[in-house]
Amino acid sequence: MNSQLLALPIVLFASGCFQDIIADSDPEPGDTVVSETPIVPAGGTDGTGVMQDASSGSSSEGTSEGASDSMPEPRCGDGTVDPGENCDDGNDRSGDGCSADCSIEPHACGPQSTTIGEDFERGIGVCKDASGNTCEKDFASLCAPSWHLCSWAEHVQLNDGVSIELDEVPAVGAIRCRSLGGSGHYTSHDFSVDGPDSCEIGSSRVDCPTNLGCNETVLAALCCAPIASCGNGVVDDDLEECDDGNDDDFDDCSNSCASRQGSGPFC
């Protein structure tokens, strides 16, 4: 054996026997050599996080094919707007602005209004002019196009199961003529409560005008969707208070099928 080589005795416990392992740059026959390259088990890693291929010994980095298969498929309601979706609000409900099939829904309130709450599917919402510049007699303009201020009948039929907080600000609906002159709005102080018909908040309309109607601009508008059968001359819907078969808004039955004359407090 070459006398210039440095022998390093290492004790190896294997099968109950001792064996000298010699680090030799030029090993002679019969010597056991310690390799400086770590031996990596098939399918394991080499300590750097690189996966060794069990069949070929080659390494692969990144995600394995099996991991990519476990990724959840995009779906409507997962909170992410995926290809083919117009919106995704993370739920499977319609009536909240983004439908159950991830299509954008129209709103109960007009584009310049602030939405306090709505259920478009049921056809009711509460809208407000955040700037406070709209007179209450003109609150119908806060509703979406073709929508109108709700009558008492509409409110008590459509508010079931709908939660809208009014934050102590009354929501006003249809304007009724008062029996003693002038006019007032059907008024709700608690959206979920079926209160009586009323003409509580003073207002003004062409056929029963007053000098009121522009001093309660901080209130909210109670808006309802058009009634499909309104105008056919038959009261055939629980949402209709009347139906005179025309679209005259200033006779005894309005063009939204609400009675001109209220029947509750302040009327």
**pLDDT tens for each residue of the chain, 267 residues long:** 444 433 433 333 334 433 443 344 454 555 444 444 444 445 454 445 444 444 444 444 444 444 445 777 888 999 999 998 888 889 988 766 688 899 877 789 998 899 999 998 899 999 999 999 999 999 999 999 999 999 999 999 999 999 999 988 999 999 999 999 999 999 999 999 999 999 999 999 999 999 988 999 999 999 999 999 999 999 999 999 999 999 888 899 999 999 999 889 999
Residue 89: the pLDDT is 86
Give the per-residue pLDDT at 159: 96
Q: How far apart are alpha carbons 181 and 128 in whole angstroms?
A: 28
Q: Tell which residue, 144, 142, 143, has the closest CA to residue 129.
A: 142
Question: How much is the pLDDT for 28?
Answer: 53
Residue 95: its pLDDT value, please? 62
Output the pLDDT for position 103: 84
The set of residues, in sequence order, having a beta carbon less than 8 Å from that of 49 and lying 6+ positions away, is 61
Identity of the amino acid at 157: Q
How distant, in Å, are the alpha carbons of 107, 127, 170, 223 from that of 116? 11, 6, 12, 11
Residue 69: the pLDDT is 59
Query: How far apart are alpha carbons 253 and 67 in whole angstroms?
Result: 66
Report field, pTM of the whole predicted structure over 0.85: no
C-alpha to C-alpha distance for 126 and 3, rounded to whole angstroms:
99
Contact call for residues 217 and 137 (beta carbons, < 8 A): no
pLDDT the model gives residue 111: 86
